[in-house]
Structure formats: C-alpha cells, structure tokens
Amino acid sequence: MSYSLTPADHHRALMDGINPEMTYNGNFAQWRKAARNRLEGILGLDRMMKLERPELNVRSVWKREHELGTIEKIYFASEKGCDVMAYVCIPHGFKAPGPFFVCVQGHSTGAHNSIAVDLHDDNKVIEIQGDRDFGLVCMRYGVAALCIEQRGFGEREDEHESCSRCHPPSAHALLLGRTLIGERIYDIDRGIDYLLSRGDADPGRIGVMGNSGGGTASMFAGGLLDRITHVMPSSSFSTFRDSIAAMHHCICNYVPGLMVYGETADVVGLAAPKPMVVVNGTEDTIFPLDAAKKEFARLQQIYTDAGAPGNCRHVIAEGGHRFYAEAAWPVMLEYL
C-alpha cells in the first residue's frame, strides 16, 4: 500500500484538475469587466481604493544634477500613516509634458539601485548588475522616471532578522484582508497621483516597469490601473503553475485564490489594449521560458480580441533572471 502524505503532492493534483473561474472566455469586454472586479477583490485592492486619500504632502530631501539630467529624492503620503520614498529622474532635454515610467525594483535592497547609489549613503555611487538601474536607463532613453520604494524593501523594510524582507508585511496584510501586491499597486496609483500633480507628465504616456518582484507589481498594476498607459514587466511572466507554484518563491508572490481566479495571461491581459512589452531571459530558471511562451500565446489572443494585436510584444534575451534594457527599451520606444 502506498500513501500520499505531502501537501505539495496533493496541491499539485488539485492544480492539474482546476477549472479557473476567470480564464479568458473569448468575449473580451464581458470577461475583462468580471475578471477585473474579481482580481481586485482577491487582492484586497477594492477595499483600498475606497479609502479616502490623504494629501500627498510631498517632501523633497535633495535635488542633484547628474550627467544624465537631474535626480530628486522625495517622500509622499500613500495612505494615512504610510509614506513612500521615491526618486524623480528627469533627463536632459526633457520636453514637458513628456513620458514618465514608474519603476519598481524586485527583491533587493531597494529603490536606491534604480539610481545606482548606496542604500545607506546616497552620495556613494555603486555598480549595478543586470540593467537594474532603471531610473538611469530611462534617462538614457529620454524618458523621465519615478522610482518608488516598494513596501518591504529598502527604506520600507521591516526589521525582522529571521524573516525575508517581504515575509512580515505579507503576513500582516493577509491578516487585514489585504495582500502586499495589492498594497504595492496602491502605492503605484498614488505615484501617478503625484506625477499628474507635477504638470510635466503626459497623461497619455505613463508607464510602469520592473524586474522580478517589480515585474510582478507591473503586471498587476498594468492590468488594474486605468491611468497606466504602457507596461513593461521583466523576469516575472510565466505561468503561475510553473513558477510560483512549482518552487520556492518569496511569500509576497502569493495571493489567496489566485489560481482559482486564473493564470498569468488572465492577469496581464486585463491591460489590453495598452502597449505591453513582456521581457524574459532564456536561462531564467524561476520564471521558465517554455511556459512563458505558451502563456504569451494566450496573451496575444486576448490582445487580438481587444483589437490591438500589434500592442503585445515578447522580448526574449539570452541570459538569466535580470532586465535587458538594450533588447526591451527600443521596442517600448516604438509605442512612446
């Protein structure tokens, strides 16, 4: 007699037989409305969007000249009692109103990587691997950037020596009927509030981009926030089944009922018909490429049914779990 005892084996069997409620059904308009409402609910974002938004209360810490333009460090209020740190990067020759991208780092020491400075000394320049200096890369391509600190990273990290950066805030959010992904999306939305208050951001060209955990935030935000017009997630697009359900990932990737809702294309496809540039590395072992290609075919069908087949592009670069600026940005610039 054999026994099947492990939860993982049982969960895998359940995944094999699951019939997700919000799998794309071929009717784009009908599906999008129902799926969006359902996703906002499981993220806890629907509750957050009903909150009264406090004044932004923007505080500038410093503003400096850079060889690529100017960089300013600011703080602004997201929720009552919850502030966001961000870097505002304006390239030389920027003509207002112009394109802005909200840039979000993945699991790392934080947003300081976006401008290649040390976490504890922002006068100290550091070397960044894998094109993760998002703010500087945006500036090189003539695009302004708002590089925000995601909850749980960098200056917004909880001090729990025994836990990964994202574990405590993820657990606390779940206790409150929220998710950390939902809270990060809300911060991006508040970042857009800030951008539109400046007067130099073009409302028709506000993008979101990020790598890994930042790519995940970009996928969800691009699908759920109407004011985002361009989306570029990197090292985060595969199937949930073959990525976060197949191996160890940080807890902030997990949303209650996500696979009952649908798969990755059923999240990312909510962004259609917005220009979408999905970036994958050939050797990214935690977001496998074979599964990503199959899921991208589903995403393409959603975009086709939304009347914008040309707005969905898949950039595949040789390498691992990182961003690929030289491969991805020229494609995005075609839409900007």
Check residue 312 and give its pLDDT.
98
C-beta separation of 322 from 285 below 8 A? no
Res. 160 pLDDT band, cuts 50 70 90? low
Res. 3 pLDDT band, cuts 50 70 90? low
Check residue 13 and give its pLDDT.
87
pLDDT in tens, 247-301: 888 899 999 999 999 999 999 999 999 999 999 999 999 999 999 999 999 999 9
pLDDT in tens, 83-104: 999 999 999 999 999 999 999 9
Domains of the chain by range and CATH? Answer: 38-335 (3.40.50.1820)
- End-to-end Cα separation, the chain, in angstroms: 63
Give every strand in the sheet of 276-281, ordered side by side: 59-66, 69-79, 82-91, 144-148, 98-104, 201-211, 230-234, 276-281, 312-317
Q: How far is CA 172 from CA 11, 232, 331, in A?
A: 24, 29, 39
Check residue 247 and give its pLDDT.
83
Q: Is residue 163 over pLDDT 70? A: no
Cα–Cα distance measured from residue 49 to residue 169, given in angstroms and rounded to the nearest whole number: 19
Cα–Cα distance measured from residue 334 to residue 44, given in angstroms and rounded to the nearest whole number: 35
Check residue 279 and give its pLDDT.
98
Shortest CA distance to 212 belongs to which of 274, 281, 269?
Answer: 281
pLDDT in tens, 46-87: 999 999 999 999 999 999 999 999 999 999 999 999 999 999
3-state secondary structure of 213: helix
Q: How far is CA 144 from CA 49, 135, 251, 328, in A?
A: 26, 8, 31, 17
Q: Is residue 1 over pLDDT 70? A: no
Pairing between β-strand 144-148 and β-strand 98-104 as defined by DSSP bridges: parallel
Shortest CA distance to 198 belongs to which of 7, 8, 56, 36?
Answer: 56
| pLDDT, mean over the chain | 95
Check residue 6 and give its pLDDT.
85
C-beta separation of 227 from 115 below 8 A? no
Check residue 222 and give its pLDDT.
98
Cα–Cα distance measured from residue 143 to residue 136, given in angstroms and rounded to the nearest whole number: 9
Check residue 248 and give its pLDDT.
87
Check residue 218 and give its pLDDT.
98
DSSP assignment of 20-65 = -TT---S-HHHHHHHHHHHHHHHHTHHHHHTSPPPP---EEEEEEE
3-state secondary structure of 160: coil
- Sign of the alpha-carbon torsion through 159, 162, 164, 168: negative
How far is CA 162 from its chain centroid?
A: 26
Check residue 309 and give its pLDDT.
97
Q: Is residue 115 over pLDDT 90? A: yes
Check residue 4 and give its pLDDT.
72
Per residue, what are the HEC states of 161-189? Answer: CCCCCCHHHHHHHHHCCCCHHHHHHHHHH
Average the pLDDT over 318-327 and give the result: 97
**pLDDT higher at 205 or 165:** 205
Check residue 246 and give its pLDDT.
87
